[in-house]
Structures are given as C-alpha cells and as structure tokens.
Structure 1
C-alpha cells in the first residue's frame, strides 16, 4: 500500500476516515490535509485519513499530559483500569469480523489470518494486561533500624508509541495495552501505510470507557512527525517497532531528553534443522517460518541451516512443499499469505533475490513474480548454494524468501547462527529434547522455538538483543517497561 496526496473530500466507505483522535475528540488535521490509503492486494484506494502536522502532534502530547496529570486514569485503582481493558477485549471480539476486514484490506493479510491471529491476538493482549492491572502491588522492605521502607510501582507518564506496517493492530496493542494497564497516557503514531486499525481501536477504547486524552492517535507521513513525537518534552517513554536504522535514530532523538526507549528492531533469524528431526513436521515448520505474513515478520526464519545427512532430502522436498502453499487471494480462507505492503517493499525484495543470484546463488523455487498481476505479490522463494556474505543471507529480507545451507557440527551451526548483527529469534528442529535445550541456550536471541516457529502468546515476552533492540513486549516484563519504582522511607524513631 502506498500513501498519496488527495483532495479533502472523503467518500463514504466501511473504513475509518479523515480525522485524528486527540483529547477524546475526532478532529481534522491542522491544515485539513488528507492522504489516501491504498490496498496492497490491488493498489486501489481504500479511504482517506488525516495528514497530521507538527501542531497536531503537539496537541496530542498536550492532551495526553493533561489527562495523566489529572489522575483521571493514572489515579484509578488498578482494578478499575482492568475493568475497562477487559471491556476493550470484549468489544474487539464482538467486532472481530469488522476489525479483521480492515486489517486484511489495509495490510494485505488473508482475511482468515487477520481475524484469527491479529484481532484475536489483540483482544487477548488487552485481556491479559487487564488481569495484570489488578496486581500492581508494592512491597515492604526490611531494614536494620526503626525504618519503614515501602516500594511502589508507578506509571511513567506519557508514552509515545510508534508502530510498523506488518502487524498494525498487534504491535500497537502490545504497547498500548501494558502502557494503559500501568496507568500511562498514550500517543500512538501508526505506520503511514497501515493506519486504519489504530483509528478503529481508538473508537473501541473510547466506547469501553477510556477517559478523554488518555489515548490519542495521529496519522501522517514521514519521519518528521515521528521525530517530533519522540523528542517531545511531554513524552516520558518511547515504544518503537521498526527497522534497526530507524530505531537508532529514534533512540538518539529520545536520548536528547534522556527518555527511555523500548524497541523491537530488525531480525535475520536462523532456523536449525538437525538430522534427527521429524522431517515432515520440520519442513512444515520451515515453510511457516518464512512465508508467514508474506515474510514481513521481524522474527521470520529466513536462514535455514540443515544438518548434512538430510540436506539433499530437504532440498528435494522443499519445491513441492513451497509450490503447494495456497497464497494470493486474501479473501480465500485457505490462503496462507498475501502481497507485500508496497511497491517499494516489492522492489527491495526483488533486488535482494536478484543480487544474491548474481553473486552465485541458485534459485531452487520461486523468484519469478508475475509482472501482469495487480498488487505487490511476491512468490515464496528458496535460494541455495548461498554464502554468509550473500545479500539475502546477510541482510533482513522482509519478504517470503528462504536461504538454505548445510552444516556438519553443532559448534559450527551455533557459530554461523550467531554470526549476525541481529538477535531477535531463532529455531531448533530436533528429535532430541536435550539437544534442543542445549542449542537454544547458546543462541543469541530474545526468543527461541524448539520444534515450532512463531508460537506467540501475551504471557510470553519477546524482544531483541544486539541490533534487534532492547526491552521486552508481552508478559509481566512488558508491563514493567511502563512502570517506574519509587521507594518511600519512613523514620519511625520518635
């Protein structure tokens, strides 16, 4: 999907249109500017949304600060916040068909996936943090003298959340839900490619009872808005998901105000397939690991390492397994993946594959998109005879592309799996549980799956090491990112 300038007229359609959500009110952008949102499956326009200005970001941050300082949300008991967050989850489930359709059209996801994975996952996340909001207890610490020391956990203030195009609803929710559970106010800047589910979420949060100003959404184009929001003096914490390059800039901007950042950045994850694995199950897992969401998944298993005794058999089986994947038509329930998000992303993936082949790699399957097909569809592609310095191995692909290499020893494969600047995820496919645990413990990544891939749950934290970011989302760890600790010490000496 691309973003283009358009006239102020907004036609009636089933998608959220034309306004920002600031201070509990739907309002036009300051300059009344709009931008068109297009569907990646067809290239056709879905709707128009507001093109925010710096002044709109200022208004959103000011509204969030006023709401926080008033205590209308931050001062509520945790169980009251919990009641509202649980209602958000209920409303998301009630409107799952509508939300799924919006996410499917906006992000180019198969409708079944958008509903079952994205909408259901978002509802579960609000429910999970609604339950945790009731457990924000402090503690009493023993001291040697006549001193009563209490430790409290408090919200930070205003959170700036900046989210990417690949999982608009889930990756917004993974920031918004714990931030709200902790008692913070939020300004959300969704990706300019995929803003629609964030606007619908604003409607749902308001209906559930989140007070005015506690949650705000600004839509717009370009890094200027994000940079201004990240560096805004009213912002106390930044939550960002995106590329490593942009993440470094976000950290720099936030650092000027000494504001903490939680970030999930790029990935280039290794999937290790041992000869003792159940090959039928392992190959299914391999397919899932690199075509899920058309490979637009920071934790995609795009680098496959196969133990040499089964290497040739795996190569012999992959073409049929890949060719049998139902894909393309996002309205079909059986479709596994749809298009890439935009022409820019399509061109990037195409170039990485072409450059890797030019460097000596061989196409095992795929790599031949239909130039006559509308939308940004790229077929599942497998590259072999690759080296670690080949473009599709060394860089994050963010498309349905898999590279395959053989290995001989456990030590060797751990070294090459860790031999990347990234450290977001990893996988081990083996029939030996002890080996799986041993290898997983030595992989340098935030989450490792054994005999599976992409198994996510709101209770299980994820995040990166090295160039893949820092901090964690999901789980109690995700809630802790939005809390600060205060100690109060009372002298009991008369």
Structure 2
C-alpha cells in the first residue's frame, strides 16, 4: 500500500452554490445551506442551497411549461441531436473544471474523475445519434380496412435523483436518454456533490437547450427527494441509490402511479475459476474492490474463488493491493480515493469488525490509513467467509472483499445467486462452456467475462431482484422514458352497425 501526502492546490474560497430553474441560476438567499468538506482533504470546498418544496414546485411548473410548449418535446430529432452533440463538446471543453470539482466533493482520484467526464461525453454523443433512430412500428397485416401504427412519444416531466458517489456519470447515464426522447427534467443531485450538476446547466444552455427543459433543485432526500417521488405532476421518477431508499421512492410514486426506474444496491460476485488467467483476474478483482474506494453499486465485493487455487489467488491479490497508491486525490497517480463522510467510514469499519465476530479472518487491511489528510480506508480482505454471513449478504460500500471458496461450477453459481441483490457479476475463466453456463445462470443485470466494470453507452444497465427495476442506457434507456401509443386507422367507408 503506497500512501501519498497532499500537495495539491485547493480552492482559495468556498464555492457558493444556488439552484437552477427555467433557464436561470438562482442564489441560495435566505435558505439553509450545507457546507461540503472535501473527503480527501477535510477542508470546506462548497456550500449548497437546501431548497424547499416550494422551490421544487416552481421547477416542476417550469418543466411542465417547457414540455407543453413543444420547443423540445415536439421538435425535429435533428435539433435534439445537435444540442446533445454540443453538450458533449461542452463537457470536453470544461473537462478539467468538472473533474476537479467532482474529485473535491466525492473524494475520488482525479484520474477517475477525468475518465468519467470523457465517458459522460460519450453518452451524449451516443444519444445524439439515437435520438434520430427512435421510432415506432406499423402493422400492415390487418386487412384492407385497417392499418395499425405504434408510436413512441415523450412521457412528460421526469424527476431525476442522482447519488453522491457518481454525480456526473450517473447523470450522463440518464439525462441524455431522457432528453433524446423529448422530455423535460428536474434533477435533484445529492446535497454532498451538487457542483458538477449545476455547472452542467451552463453547458446545456450554451448548447442550445430551451429554458425550462433542465432544472436543478438542490437539497436533501427527505425534503426534496420525497416531494419529487410523490409529486402529482411528475410522470417518471428515476432514482439511483440504496435499496432501502429506493423502496421509499417506489412507495411514494404510487401517488399518481408514475413510472419508476431504480438502480439500487449490489453485492456483486467476482467468480474466479482455476483455469482463468489468475494474474489478470487478481488485477481485475483489485480494481473492482478499490474503484471509487468501493463506494460503487457494481463494485466486486464478493470473491467466489475455486478452492484449489484460493490460497494462492488471495496471496496474489494481496501483493497487488500492497502496491495500490492511496492518498492525494488530485495527484494523477493516485488509485484509491477517500470515503465520503465520517459516518460512512465508521459504517465500513464496523462491518470489518462484524465479519470477524461472525468468524471471518482478517487477511489484509481493516483500518483507516494513518498519516493522510483525508478519510482513507486500507484495502481489506476477509477470508473464511460463509455465504450466510452478513458481510457476504449486505452492501458494505467500501474497499472490503469477502472471500468464499467453491468446488464446482454449480456451487459457484449457487453462491453467486444466494443474495438479495442482482446488479452485476464478473466471471473469470478461459473455458467458454463454463463462461456461458455462468453468464446465463447468474442473477445480474450486468455481467462481465474476463473483465469488470467495463463497457460503453450502447448496452443497457439495471438490476435483478432488490437491485432495482427498469433499464438505463442503450436504446432501451431512451425507450424507458417514452409512452407507447397503439393507433388503429380505418381505411375506406365504415360498415354500419346500425342498419
């Protein structure tokens, strides 16, 4: 484990954030505010407005007015494509600024933030093309007197609640798809990480998005998020976060039976067979458990490894983790960043203690990093974990790996699926038959073979079981935010019913 002290330049003053409604930035005014402390440096960097339900009402009204006005909802797809392409260009033009603030507020390494900004631009480029491909269908098989048409049209006003761990890339995995299909949107970013979502309002305005189509209301989940979920004039609610909060969002959405798209928690298995490239697998497992300090819904938090190679594989993994660079989040060489809040750090470490109480062996790490200016946790491995242990069933959301051995492919699949979640999985083997067998059988919305946490905007993402409902990204991600209308058109004279 290679730790680094901070040498980076921090902002000279706290950045004060307002909110954004109907094409105009608004100051916090007399609203309560929350000061955000950079997890990697423990200094204040931003101050966000805690908006009220009345602010949300104004935002929804603006979004509805924009939708009904038709400048975006009924415009030619060519116009949408041009705006989305310009948004991608705007992201790249301000990439360093966006990455800087993303790193300050989340605690992730700057190299990861830069990569996420580039990936985000790719989503807008994909949707620029996909907007022009969105179509319905026709049925020319109902006889001479009837012709059928199926259309897709925008749903209306979308409420979008994004998480603290990936504020900008999660926005990019949803917003351009929402916009490509012609909807208006009200976004509530996490109060801990709101800056890049507000910067993006300027980028979209410069790209030519009509006012009122994109609105940002900052604030807390119990105040603003709850109000969005139950709002009678929001047609779809999209939420990314914990399964417990997702259940509350889904329950609140019943007020007007709004559609809901939820990407929730995960307890994702890394299934490693003896015939895999074990060095590559160890590198992938190390990456998947350390990516975003494990604060990632698709993090590989369970190592399900063939028993015959388990001991040697864990030794290989420990050697990899010993060389992970931890510390200064603004240093491009840093690989493992900080933990979001003191409360979350305490939660992660409490799970490490719980695992040992349940009978697991602490093979590596298990403590906060000493001598650094921020909140950092050592990469941690728990061995002798049984599938029924809480550390194997519950989402820890930190750089903690539970090791569970298996004897057969059937047992590996049983262990992988013995969990309330079904968000992601990785399979490591050179045997195509085993890869296909496990790929078909594993309960996960995203599955990787001989890689992990990879892929672009063309394929959908989402979860099985308690990991959520609905799909984001790809063409399915655009269709998610449309309504389907079936039309029957009579041809010629009607045969009278009344003689």
Measured against the shorter chain, the TM-score band is over 0.9
Q: 1:87 to 1:13 in 2, by over 3 A?
A: farther
1:403 is aligned to 402
Superposed CA offset, 1:417-458 (max 9, x none): 100000000111001122111111100110110001001311
Q: Say which is worse superposed, 404-413 or 14-23, in terms of deviation.
A: 14-23
CA distance in 1, matches of 2:70, 2:12: 37
Verify: 1:252 aligned to 2:265, yes or no. Answer: no
State whether residues 428 and 449 of structure 2, in contact with CA within 8 Å, keep that contact through their aligned partners in structure 1: yes
How far does residue 490 in structure 1 lie from its aligned partner after superposition? 1.7
Verify: 1:34 aligned to 2:33, yes or no. Answer: yes
How far does residue 389 in structure 1 lie from its aligned partner after superposition? 2.7
How far does residue 28 in structure 1 lie from its aligned partner after superposition? 2.9
SS of the residue aligned with 2:261?
A: strand
CA distance in 2, matches of 1:244, 1:272: 24
Q: Say which is worse superposed, 483-492 or 93-102, in terms of deviation.
A: 483-492
How far does residue 140 in structure 1 lie from its aligned partner after superposition? 2.0
CA distance in 1, matches of 2:371, 2:275: 43
Unaligned runs of 5+ in 2: 1-10, 494-499
SS of the residue aligned with 1:159?
A: strand
1:94 is aligned to 93
CA distance in 1, matches of 2:15, 2:66: 25
How far does residue 25 in structure 1 lie from its aligned partner after superposition? 1.0
1:297 is aligned to 296
1:137 is aligned to 135
Superposed CA offset, 1:364-423 (max 9, x none): 111121366432211110110111232321110110011112110111111111000000
CA distance in 2, matches of 1:17, 1:316: 47
1:469 is aligned to 468
State whether residues 231 and 255 of structure 2, in contact with CA within 8 Å, keep that contact through their aligned partners in structure 1: no
How far does residue 22 in structure 1 lie from its aligned partner after superposition? 0.4
Verify: 1:169 aligned to 2:200, yes or no. Answer: no
CA distance in 1, matches of 2:390, 2:375: 21
CA distance in 1, matches of 2:439, 2:274: 16
CA distance in 2, matches of 1:42, 1:15: 14
State whether residues 17 and 195 of structure 2, in contact with CA within 8 Å, keep that contact through their aligned partners in structure 1: no
State whether residues 30 and 52 of structure 1, in contact with CA within 8 Å, keep that contact through their aligned partners in structure 2: no
2:307 is aligned to 308
SS of the residue aligned with 1:302?
A: strand
Q: 1:217 to 1:482 in 2, by over 3 A?
A: same
Verify: 1:203 aligned to 2:207, yes or no. Answer: no
2:266 is aligned to 267
How far does residue 72 in structure 1 lie from its aligned partner after superposition? 1.3
CA distance in 1, matches of 2:465, 2:25: 40
How far does residue 30 in structure 1 lie from its aligned partner after superposition? 6.8
1:180 is aligned to 179
SS of the residue aligned with 1:199?
A: helix
How far does residue 14 in structure 1 lie from its aligned partner after superposition? 8.1
State whether residues 422 and 465 of structure 1, in contact with CA within 8 Å, keep that contact through their aligned partners in structure 2: yes
CA distance in 1, matches of 2:17, 2:281: 46
How far does residue 161 in structure 1 lie from its aligned partner after superposition? 0.2
1:349 is aligned to 348
SS of the residue aligned with 1:463?
A: coil
State whether residues 269 and 304 of structure 2, in contact with CA within 8 Å, keep that contact through their aligned partners in structure 1: yes
2:126 is aligned to 128
2:56 is aligned to 57
- TM-score, structure 2 normalization: 0.94
State whether residues 29 and 56 of structure 1, in contact with CA within 8 Å, keep that contact through their aligned partners in structure 2: no
1:489 is aligned to 488
How far does residue 171 in structure 1 lie from its aligned partner after superposition? 0.6
SS of the residue aligned with 2:210?
A: coil
CA distance in 1, matches of 2:13, 2:103: 13
How far does residue 51 in structure 1 lie from its aligned partner after superposition? 1.4
State whether residues 15 and 102 of structure 1, in contact with CA within 8 Å, keep that contact through their aligned partners in structure 2: no
How far does residue 326 in structure 1 lie from its aligned partner after superposition? 1.1
Verify: 1:440 aligned to 2:432, yes or no. Answer: no
CA distance in 1, matches of 2:211, 2:72: 9
Verify: 1:225 aligned to 2:224, yes or no. Answer: yes
CA distance in 2, matches of 1:327, 1:71: 50
CA distance in 2, matches of 1:370, 1:447: 32
How far does residue 18 in structure 1 lie from its aligned partner after superposition? 2.7
State whether residues 423 and 446 of structure 1, in contact with CA within 8 Å, keep that contact through their aligned partners in structure 2: yes
CA distance in 1, matches of 2:319, 2:370: 23
Verify: 1:76 aligned to 2:80, yes or no. Answer: no
Superposed CA offset, 1:327-353 (max 9, x none): 221122121120111111101101000
State whether residues 294 and 339 of structure 1, in contact with CA within 8 Å, keep that contact through their aligned partners in structure 2: yes
How far does residue 87 in structure 1 lie from its aligned partner after superposition? 0.3
CA distance in 2, matches of 1:99, 1:266: 26
1:337 is aligned to 336
Q: 1:335 to 1:463 in 2, by over 3 A?
A: same
Q: 1:31 to 1:144 in 2, by over 3 A?
A: farther
CA distance in 2, matches of 1:383, 1:145: 69
Q: 1:72 to 1:17 in 2, by over 3 A?
A: farther
Q: RMSD in angstroms over aligned alpha carbons?
A: 1.4
State whether residues 29 and 53 of structure 1, in contact with CA within 8 Å, keep that contact through their aligned partners in structure 2: no
Unaligned runs of 5+ in 1: 1-11
SS of the residue aligned with 1:21?
A: strand
Q: 1:15 to 1:440 in 2, by over 3 A?
A: farther
Superposed CA offset, 1:103-153 (max 9, x none): 11111111111002x101111111111110111223221212411222211
